[in-house]
Structure 1
Amino acid sequence: MTPPDFLLDTRRDERLRLSEAIFCAGKSPAQIGAIVAHAEERGLSLLLTRLDEARFAGLPPHQREVLDYDSLSATAIWGQPHPIDAKTRVAIVTAGTSDVPVAREAARTLLFEGFGSEEIVDVGVAGLWRLLRRVDELRTFPVVIVAAGMDAALPSVIGGLIGGLIIAVPTSVGYGVAAGGQTALNAILASCAPGIVTVNIDNGYGAACAAMRALGGRTTKGEDHGTS
């Protein structure tokens, strides 16, 4: 039985062609386990985000064995993701390897929803040549997600080089006045590259959802994949 403090949004897939994810931060392993058990009873597939290793370790053994868990992105997939549509690929770019956990959250979200992605890692502006050699490749993608911390210059630079939609994700990477990603967020909001959009700090999931909305969502509705 679903615990009374959860109201599952099983119709989101019909409304949005996007499944609802289970945000695990703040939930106990018992609460997460109850939601997964409900999904198992109904034959649902689930995406779980912000599932840290401690909460994952607290789940029942049979759930841990079945979950497709990725500790780097703190995500897990229960059941089968939507089939990948090869025509809907998104580039995911990071300024540094420290930004990869956020980028991987976006990639895993896209994977679950049936969208392909290409991860391009460690092309920050401190070594601009690393980005310049990938520009032609990036121009082939309709949507590019860019995860960057510190001064978050990378989204602006990419926004001045390619014509596709740029979705920036400020990350909490950086020293001192980086202020846990606030400086990166402000820099993106103040960007002089026209048309860049941003999501909240470290919100790889939100960036992936924005990309999927921009691409028109899945071409076919899933079969009851989503809950909250």
Structure 2
Amino acid sequence: MPDARPDSHPDVTFDRGRQARIGLEEAVLAEPKTPEQIAAIIGDAMREERRLLLTRLTLAQYEALPPQQRSALDYCALSRSAILGALPPQKTTPRVALVSAGTSDAAAAAETRRVLAYSGLAATQVPDVGVAGLWRLLDREPLLREMQVVIVFAGMDAALPSVVAGLVPGLVIAVPTSVGYGVATGGRVALDAALASCAPGVLVTNIDNGYGAACAALRFAHAAAHPEDIHAKKKESR
């Protein structure tokens, strides 16, 4: 049954039961919301003493919040994310790596890392190993082959996910980023390249969607750790 607690803003109906239903809490996509809507959502969470994850929260939006709310949030300007409440203990299984082609891809990788941490899953960061200097990636190959999930962030021609998927046996999730200039501007070339990868089994998120990549990894982790939940939900749906 859905949680019937009322929301304080008329435009908001927060999905409090999502964690129990699918194993992932609802995150608040802050960027398109008004300051009043964001403050109301945070205020409800504080009154109910529950944790909350906000994504795409700009610095201007964060600074517009009431002082009490700002002081209660762990805000990261790089990932544009904010966390209300303490992080849970960090699990190291499944083993997850965040591989970025360049320093310019750091924002998307940081968003993924924060979402994973919010959900209690640690990740190993492997930054700045793009294919323009392939030796950097090959030096990390032994480490990456030990990982069960490898999330790869790359803009421009987004060649890195295909190369990684040709080297490692784990699940590879590609996050095309909007990094680049000329025809690469905005990330569409990176998205098309990732979708057209000749490496088999590469999963692809939308452009700059570090949040979506983290959720895919968390679904994998939950299914691997709790296969009985999948069978139970199948029976419930019949």
TM-score band by shorter chain is over 0.9
- Find the partner of 1:49 among 55, 72, 84: 55
SS of residue in 2 equivalent to 1:101: helix
Pick the structure with more helix per residue: 2
Shift of 1:40: 0.5
Output the amino acid matched with 2:164.
I
Q: Which residue of 2 aligns with 1:118?
A: 124
Q: Which residue of 2 aligns with 1:174?
A: 180
- Find the partner of 2:94 among 88, 91, 106: 88
CA deviation profile, 1:46-85 (whole Å, cap 9, x unmatched)? 1100001000000001111110000000001001233222
Output the amino acid matched with 1:117.
A
Output the amino acid matched with 1:176.
G
Shift of 1:179: 3.4
Shift of 1:218: 9.2
Cα 1:104–1:217 change in 2 (3 A) is farther
Output the amino acid matched with 1:151.
D
Higher alpha-carbon deviation: 41-50 or 84-93: 84-93
Shift of 1:217: 5.5
Count of aligned positions? 221
Q: Which residue of 1 aligns with 2:39?
A: 33
When normalised by structure 1's length, the TM-score is: 0.93
Q: Does 1:64 align with 2:100?
A: no
In structure 2, how many angstroms separate the alpha carbons of the residues matched to 1:176 and 1:69? 33
Query: Which consecutive segments of 4 or more residues in structure 1 shift more than 4 A?
Result: 217-221
Q: Which residue of 1 aligns with 2:165?
A: 159
SS of residue in 2 equivalent to 1:116: coil
Q: Which residue of 1 aligns with 2:211?
A: 205
Percent identical: 54
Shift of 1:119: 1.1
Cα 1:150–1:29 change in 2 (3 A) is same
Shift of 1:16: 1.1
Cα 1:135–1:186 change in 2 (3 A) is same
CA deviation profile, 1:183-227 (whole Å, cap 9, x unmatched)? 000001111111101000000000000011112269699xxxxxx
SS of residue in 2 equivalent to 1:179: helix
Q: Which residue of 2 aligns with 1:224?
A: none
Consecutive unaligned residues in structure 1, runs of 5 or more: 222-228
In structure 2, how many angstroms separate the alpha carbons of the residues matched to 1:37 and 1:140? 42
CA contact under 8 A between 1:17 and 1:218: conserved in structure 2?
no
In structure 2, how many angstroms separate the alpha carbons of the residues matched to 1:218 and 1:83? 19
CA deviation profile, 1:85-104 (whole Å, cap 9, x unmatched)? 23233100100000000000
Output the amino acid matched with 2:55.
T
Q: Which residue of 1 aligns with 2:234?
A: none
Larger radius of gyration: 2
In structure 2, how many angstroms separate the alpha carbons of the residues matched to 1:208 and 1:76? 15
Cα 1:9–1:43 change in 2 (3 A) is same
In structure 1, how many angstroms separate the alpha carbons of the residues matched to 2:91 and 2:79? 22
Q: Which residue of 2 aligns with 1:129?
A: 135
Consecutive unaligned residues in structure 2, runs of 5 or more: 1-6, 230-238
When normalised by structure 2's length, the TM-score is: 0.90
SS of residue in 2 equivalent to 1:86: coil
Q: Does 1:148 align with 2:154?
A: yes
